[in-house]
Structure 1
């Protein structure tokens, strides 16, 4: 078939989608929600302001006027967005135009689309509508949101993308596919949108259907997600939220409140003159306050991930879950740049890890490209079996090392003495007193932390990948396949040359990883191995 006739066939198969299409008026709900979410995404930063306003007296009428103004503004803005949003499928690409004063037009070729997912937020569930999200590699934000789309329309758009991409890939002799094939007999088929896979066979539907049966890799129950919410990022929440609030509190006034006076009296009564017991009780109270802040993280984790299921369809991973807004995200296994296995401080109490499947930097599927697809609360005994089920990873099987080669002690020698320099200078000015003692002790503590950091630095060289181990009180493994390395930088100072050490930086599409003060021979071996792996095949990079 000639190229013009092929385009004519494609144009005819697209039907009404070949003309500019408007979204349903219900899309204004999505636009309003997206704008409100953007405003409130950093809502924790408003807590100190609200707290300060409450302390100085709130004007209820002013608050109501402000809320009414915000609602009207959101409504007008969402109406304009809906009115000016148009899309069509033509010439093997998705065209989108939007904007009031300045019209923006996006042209997205089908063969550049990396991820497609169908989300159904809470406000769309009663209407049986959802949002079709289309992503491309290397983009900072999602390329297209087709909001308020019913399941049948979403499925038809999916079919058009599949048809155009399949034809395009077959013409180019490419064995990849854009989407994972599922059974289209139910509404849930729309949520099974996937990304590129290694094997695409459009000629044998029966065979294709059998290959697309899901293979469940791991599930997480409510208790495991509560653990994940408890240990994940709570120190950040505590510092961001509690810090500004504590700065607003007038401690002298707080100490005069009868409740706190009675609380302190009870502590003194229970502990007597035992200072150790008093300190223990105070630390227990601090831990309780921390747990209160941790509830925010737990609540967020449960709402976003429960019930968590990760399954494999052909060469595509699909993560499903979400209480309020059910999501099914898809990730082609060949797009995984590196595997990161992290164990925060509190996670060590439960002996669990968080596994991150990192993709091309700037285009991830979690939280609008801000995070990577992850597997929460994976026990140490589950790591090997879980990663073993993700077949097709670059670099072969993931056997998590139990030991690692430490970096050179010279790394610590170059840094361990630095805290003592300002401490010595301040001590000369202050003289021999309590302040000088505190400064010196602080220098010892900082130097000790640097030493702990040094003890956690290490690496392991496998046949097809290199592992990096790092951390302080937490622990972290990163696995970098040689085939995913895009560039290598080997740096040496004059002193390092004499002692046979080097800094090695490995550049991937997901970012850079540095191995400091490793053996020069190991650095050259890793560099040569990575360059040879990609010398004749650069398609593995992305």
Structure 2
């Protein structure tokens, strides 16, 4: 390895590492400061609070300097180079780490362009191998697009998709620059509907309430409440307006976030790969190998199901999903009939229209009773100790029963030659499709009381990222479950 061969990440990596560290530590620090109820002052005459404030600011500056130094060391000690058909990486200060990745083992290169990447025409490259890990084998935080193209070229050379002639010209052996076929792109209307029907609005509403509760010492809630109480005496309209305002604000923020994250979502394909790109502030391009698809899920939450929309998720044997996600979102928001058409085009070996084996009527009582046991205790406690207003908690019981009945009516499965299709519901309806050779394990369970009624449950597990995914068939007829288990046996 010569000095000319060694390459470093772009210096902007220092800033990226610095901000990532601050982002990770910021929330605990903020919670500590506000929970400690510190009285801060920059007035020198207030000696009791002035010097603690200076000490706090000095500690914060020292902390930021330490974080910056570690970010600089992390960048300085990270080098990579190409040698003997391998991508070689060395990093670490006190403990030297070396990783050698053969180019022929690299499956995909995923690219991301964040806010700090784009002004300098840089990309982050996540290198994924055939190991099937949820995380990338290695991440090159910030390199030029030319360096990223060189890694891709070295990978293709190792796989004998290109050869380099003696004069340095590249001969295309496997038609590297294959024209991608356009499949689908989300539009503005679908982006707004995606945000409106997602759960992010409720999460944002809860987050705002939780953050606001930490500012009791700075916001005079009691005085505000006293003034509001005088207004509320004239009616509940004021409260309704406040709630509606908070909901509208959360809805607007959810739309904004969804717009930035899913902006320009586009699906393209070649014969062996799928390419997904999205993002406004942070552009992401994900590559998915078709032969690594383990299962396909069509998810319809109640609101989307009412209007015929769904989301399609791919369970892949590897970390091709976004960060902190275990799967690839193939179609984030689309009419179900259009989703079926696209899936038939991409995966013609799958059957998408079938007849399901449904849950028998004798299992209805199990669907209704099982979810009731746990909430009965808190409902009884609240009703007794907070009578008469606590009696309103009884409303939860019919709602739980209604959801259980909905689950009973939804559940079903179908076997089509070498394919298993499972439909089940928690709140959202999930249609799970998997080929027999992709199933990692199948487990049948049966309680004592279920055995007396000839009822059994089955749990189908596939490999998807690190934890995998399990589909459940609850309280089906024992004979139907037995036939399914025989179908799964390898010698059948």
Q: Given the two structures, how large is their TM-score scaled by the length of structure 1?
A: 0.73
Q: Equivalents in 2 of 1:400, 1:58: separation in Å?
A: 66
2:46 corresponding residue in structure 1? none
Per-residue CA deviations over 1:59-102 (Å, capped at 9, x if unaligned) read 57668656644542332122101111122333443222211122
Relative to structure 1, the CA distance from residue 421 to residue 124 in structure 2 (aligned partners, 3 Å threshold; closer, same or farther) is closer
Q: Is the 8 A contact 2:444 2:456 kept in 1?
A: yes
Relative to structure 1, the CA distance from residue 50 to residue 470 in structure 2 (aligned partners, 3 Å threshold; closer, same or farther) is farther
Q: CA deviation at 1:447?
A: 4.1
Q: Among residues 229, 234, 238, which one is paired with 2:205 in the alignment?
A: 238
1:22 corresponding residue in structure 2? 8
2:487 corresponding residue in structure 1? 529
Q: CA deviation at 1:214?
A: 1.5
Q: Among residues 332, 338, 351, which one is paired with 1:376 in the alignment?
A: 332
Per-residue CA deviations over 1:330-367 (Å, capped at 9, x if unaligned) read 11122122212222344346542121112236x23212
Structure 1 segments unaligned to the other structure (5+ residues): 1-14, 169-183, 186-200, 269-277, 537-542
Structure 2 SS opposite 1:486: strand
Structure 1 SS opposite 2:90: strand
Relative to structure 1, the CA distance from residue 472 to residue 504 in structure 2 (aligned partners, 3 Å threshold; closer, same or farther) is closer
1:102 corresponding residue in structure 2? 95
Relative to structure 1, the CA distance from residue 96 to residue 252 in structure 2 (aligned partners, 3 Å threshold; closer, same or farther) is same
Relative to structure 1, the CA distance from residue 387 to residue 111 in structure 2 (aligned partners, 3 Å threshold; closer, same or farther) is same
Give yes or no for the alignment of 1:158 onto 2:157: no
Q: Among residues 208, 218, 221, which one is paired with 2:184 in the alignment?
A: 218
Q: Is the 8 A contact 1:384 1:400 kept in 2?
A: no
CA RMSD of aligned residues (A): 4.0
Per-residue CA deviations over 1:196-232 (Å, capped at 9, x if unaligned) read xxxxx96453xx65xx221111111223223222322
Q: CA deviation at 1:449?
A: 4.0
Q: Equivalents in 2 of 1:321, 1:424: separation in Å?
A: 45
Q: Is the 8 A contact 2:161 2:172 kept in 1?
A: no
2:132 corresponding residue in structure 1? 138
Q: Equivalents in 2 of 1:398, 1:315: separation in Å?
A: 20
Give yes or no for the alignment of 1:388 onto 2:358: no
| Comparing 443-452 and 458-467, the one that deviates more | 443-452
Q: Among residues 473, 476, 484, which one is paired with 1:515 in the alignment?
A: 473
Q: CA deviation at 1:425?
A: 7.4
Q: Equivalents in 2 of 1:47, 1:32: separation in Å?
A: 18
Structure 1 SS opposite 2:160: helix
Q: CA deviation at 1:418?
A: 2.0
Relative to structure 1, the CA distance from residue 336 to residue 225 in structure 2 (aligned partners, 3 Å threshold; closer, same or farther) is same
Bigger fraction of residues in strand: 2
2:141 corresponding residue in structure 1? 147
1:415 corresponding residue in structure 2? 370
1:227 corresponding residue in structure 2? 193
Structure 2 segments unaligned to the other structure (5+ residues): 43-52, 163-168
Q: Is the 8 A contact 2:124 2:139 kept in 1?
A: yes
Bigger fraction of residues in helix: 1
Structure 2 SS opposite 1:488: strand
Number of aligned residue pairs:
465
Q: Equivalents in 1 of 2:416, 2:245: separation in Å?
A: 44
